[in-house]
Amino acid sequence: MVNYPPTSPEDIAQLRFVVKFTPYGANSALAERTFTAEGTDKIQGTIASGTYTVTMQILLRADGSLFAEGEAANNPVTINPGPNPTIEITVHKSLSLTIDGDPWVNATLTANFSLPAGHEVPQSYQWKRGIATVGTDASYVVVPEDVGQPISVEVSFSNRSVTSAPVVIEGKIGIYTLAQLTGISSNMAGNYILVENNLQVIAPIGDNFLGTFDGNGNTIRLNITTPLTGAVGLFRSIGSTAMVRNLKLDGTINFTATSSVYIGAVAGENYGTIQDVSSTVEIESNTSTVDAYAGGIIGANEGTISNSSYTGPAISVEATRYIGAGGIVGENKGTIDTCYSTGSITASGGQERSAGGIVGSDFQGIIIKNNYSTGDVSAPGGRAGGIVGSTYQGNFLNNYSTGNISANTGSGTAGGIAGSIQEGEIKHCYSTGDISGGQAGGIAGYSNGGSISFCYAIGAISGGATASGGIVGDKGTTDGVSNSVALNNSVTGSASGRIWGRFGNGSGNNNYANATMGGGTWTDGPNDKDGLAVNRGVMVIGWWRAGQSDLDPPGPGPGWNSVIAASADAANEDTPWWWDGNPSHNRPRLWFEEL
């Protein structure tokens, strides 16, 4: 028989469950039995006349990972003499010790094991960093010194101890309390993960965040009402090395500022990376002097924003000079990819004001692609666009808007994608909302030096005294409109056209328009301001691919073959349109849309 408790490697390796008969040795064949695996086993045999009491000794592994249950496991069993008495015993490997808790700083770790009925309780705990003891309570709170180190726990019973496998602590700092969240200001380069949900912040955290903030899918509630200047948001500014991701924000930013402000739910200014962030924060600001730029995610962006959204009720900004209000960004000089906004956007007052479903004002933005907006946009007397209010040298690819866009029919400029565009590009975009402004267009209200191609518009265009068109209202110099389609039911205004209203020195090529469009007397010509008229009923059946013979009048079509796929699954960023030929699907969609 091996020793109990096991003391030698041989004893430990044998893992023997010893069945004792009293009086011992009455039947040597039944005196001992060794179990080597988990499961159920039986002790059977013939014993001599007499009455015997059967008990068990359980020889544990050093890690204490086994126990037994059954007739003789916990209480003695009396067996009467006779042939083939049976004792059935089940062996479990269930006293395994693990560590519960998050493997990062500020997390609370606990020892986790299941104990069989009647098992003795733990006598003591030793938490170890490597071989050094760092705690003796039943739980342990991870500290910064533990990062990168193995943490284990040893639980001691009266006659043995059990040690867990180590957990290596990641280089993250868990945020479990409001104090820990606001305490980020003392270490703006840390690697943080938000664990607690619905923490409320009433003022921006720090000046320039340079680390990583993982929201972990949790929500932070903003309630910022104190008058502030400069950059305003959860953070004031996000640096070029920083990343904020997987975060939800709600609440309100509502205050009157005394000087220029940049306002965004995540930050006033961004030079880093924002991804997978959603905001429902209602933003309202009135500034008594100078400038205001506000966005549902970021006020002023020179970094990258992707896979993010604004679904709040409204963004409304008023200032005395320059204003930019956008569903995602107020002022942009960076990249915005795969974002959307559903809230209403308004910019009012000021000398110059721009409002856009995604971006208020864009200056040499690297690229704005694969975005959409469904909310109404308004910039009375300013520039309003379904995607961008105004852009200089911006690149807009694969975007659409469905909201109504207005800039008043006197002096304002409104477009389904851009209020105004200068020296930039709009390609593979469309709008479906109604557009109204002094300069009004289904894609752009005003274009000067810009390029518009492979676009279409559907909504009614209401122009004022300047110019209105199904695609572009006022078309300036050296710009082109090509391969685009005006499906609008009507275009009205003093200087109007089915494709563009007023023409500078630019060009038009291969543009088509709804033959039944109301609002004016049109002249056919695929390269002219009115485009080539096509019956809309025929158009939606076979118009989108070149070489169709059923056009009215017959013609080569717009030549979208290289950019349109036959199904959503076949479309991608390089072949961005899809149309399945179903007449009820009366127009192409972009590659990331579903019907």
pLDDT score, position 536: 55
Q: For the chain, what percent of residues have pLDDT higher than 90?
A: 54
- Shared domain for 103 and 88, answered yes or no, is no
**Is residue 513 predicted with pLDDT exceeding 70?**
yes
d(CA 120, CA 161): 12
With 0-12 / 13-18 / 19 or more C-beta atoms within 10 angstroms meaning exposed / middle / buried, residue 4 is: middle
Summarize the confidence of residues 377-400 as an average pLDDT: 96
Q: Residue 543 domain-assigned? A: no
Q: Residue 69 domain-assigned? A: yes
- Between 291 and 346, residue with greater pLDDT: 346
**Confidence bin at 32 (pLDDT 50/70/90):** very low
Q: Residue 468 domain-assigned? A: no
**Confidence bin at 595 (pLDDT 50/70/90):** low
- Shared domain for 16 and 85, answered yes or no, is yes
Give the side-chain half-sphere CA count within 13 A for 469. 31
- Shared domain for 145 and 75, answered yes or no, is no
ω before 5 within 30° of 0 (cis)? yes
- Shared domain for 125 and 80, answered yes or no, is no
Give CA separation, 449 vs 59, 368, 423, 424, in Å. 87, 18, 4, 7
Q: Residue 344 domain-assigned? A: no
Tens digits of per-residue pLDDT, 284-312? 987 665 789 999 999 999 999 999 999 99
Return the sign of the alpha-carbon dihedral for residues 270, 354, 335, 315.
positive
With 0-12 / 13-18 / 19 or more C-beta atoms within 10 angstroms meaning exposed / middle / buried, residue 159 is: exposed
Q: Residue 85 domain-assigned? A: yes
ω before 553 within 30° of 0 (cis)? yes
**Is residue 313 predicted with pLDDT exceeding 60?**
yes
pLDDT score, position 554: 41
pLDDT score, position 183: 96
List all residues 6 or more positions away from 573 whose beta carbon is below 8 Å from its beta carbon: 369, 370, 398, 591
**Is residue 511 predicted with pLDDT exceeding 70?**
yes
pLDDT score, position 35: 41
- Shared domain for 60 and 41, answered yes or no, is yes
Q: Residue 151 domain-assigned? A: yes
Tens digits of per-residue pLDDT, 156-210? 877 667 889 999 999 999 999 999 999 999 999 999 999 999 999 999 998 899 9
Q: Which two tokens stand for residue 16?
A: 């023997």
- Shared domain for 78 and 37, answered yes or no, is yes
Amino acid at 578: W
Q: Residue 233 domain-assigned? A: no
- Shared domain for 105 and 30, answered yes or no, is no
Rg of the chain over Cα atoms, rounded to whole angstroms, equals: 36
pLDDT score, position 20: 44
Tens digits of per-residue pLDDT, 352-373? 899 999 999 999 878 999 999 9
Task: For 100-159, give the DSSP string.
Answer: ES-SSBTPEEEEE----TTPPPP-EEEEEETTEEEE-SSEEE--GGGBTSEEEEEEE-SS
- Secondary structure (3-state) at 269: strand
How many domains does one find in the chain? 2
Q: Answer whether 65's CB lies under 8 Å from 71's CB.
A: no
**Confidence bin at 465 (pLDDT 50/70/90):** confident
Tens digits of per-residue pLDDT, 261-289? 999 999 999 999 999 999 999 999 876 65
Q: Which two tokens stand for residue 316?
A: 């409304």
Q: Residue 221 domain-assigned? A: no
CA-based nearest residue to 332, from 306, 308, 310, 304:
304
pLDDT score, position 357: 98
Domain that holds residue 120: 98-168
Give CA separation, 47 vs 23, 249, 460, 520, in Å. 12, 76, 101, 113
**Is residue 217 predicted with pLDDT exceeding 70?**
yes
Tens digits of per-residue pLDDT, 537-576? 544 444 555 444 444 444 444 567 778 888 889 999 999 9
Tens digits of per-residue pLDDT, 115-144? 655 556 788 999 999 999 999 999 999 999
pLDDT score, position 23: 41
Tens digits of per-residue pLDDT, 235-267? 999 999 999 999 999 999 997 877 889 999 999
Q: Looking at 35, 67, 92, which one is the last position of a domain?
A: 92
pLDDT score, position 2: 30
- Shared domain for 84 and 103, answered yes or no, is no
| pTM, full prediction | 0.83
Average pLDDT along the chain = 81
Q: Looking at 127, 144, 168, which one is the last position of a domain?
A: 168
Q: State CA 89 to chain mean position distance.
A: 54
- Shared domain for 107 and 88, answered yes or no, is no
Whichever domain contains 128, its CATH number is 2.60.40.2700
